[in-house]
Amino acid sequence: MDIQFFDNRDEAPKNREDVRILRGRIEVAPEGRRVAVDIELTPFIERPTIELRLTNDRGEPAGLSNVIETLDRTLRMVMHMRDKTPAETYRLQARIYYAHIDEDMKREMVDEMIIDFDAVGGTEKYWPAAE
């Protein structure tokens, strides 16, 4: 007997090794010093941790945000670009991982996306690219 709990197999919760970033959006605020980041993950069984890291075009850190063991598949975070000198372009690195609670504190990385975007106010960028 095959019991189906989900009409769509894509909506069934995934094991940690199958959790992925499905899509996202970056929206730069009009003044160019804040960025809203929307992320949607695949359904998951175990709660993943999300790390968002902003760097400017000189490779300097501009922002960092962590969501530890999220309960939600869709998230919206506003990050402030905190580098000393504003840049024209930035890179967002989004990582999904699971932390092992032991003496080594190792991370099990399961997915990563790197997106470059312009810091011009009002800019929007989607990934995968909007069709």
At 16, is the secondary structure helix, strand, or coil?
A: helix
* pLDDT at 103 > cutoff 70: no
Give pLDDT, residue 102.
67
Contact between 116 and 27 under an 8 Å Cβ cutoff? The reply is no
Average of per-residue pLDDT values in the chain: 89
What is the full DSSP assignment across 45-57? SSPPEEEEEEEET
Question: Each residue of 83-98: pLDDT tens digit?
Answer: 888 899 999 999 999 9
Question: Each residue of 22-72: pLDDT tens digit?
Answer: 999 999 999 889 999 999 999 999 999 999 999 999 999 999 999 999 999
Check residue 44 and report its DSSP letter. B
Question: In the chain, what percentage of residues exceed pLDDT 90?
Answer: 72
Give pLDDT, residue 7.
64
Angle at 74 between CA 69 and CA 77, to 5 degrees: 80
Domains in the chain: ranges and CATH:
9-127 (2.60.40.2550)
* pLDDT at 73 > cutoff 60: yes
pTM, to two decimals: 0.85
Give pLDDT, residue 3.
56
Check residue 75 and report its DSSP letter. E
Give pLDDT, residue 100.
76
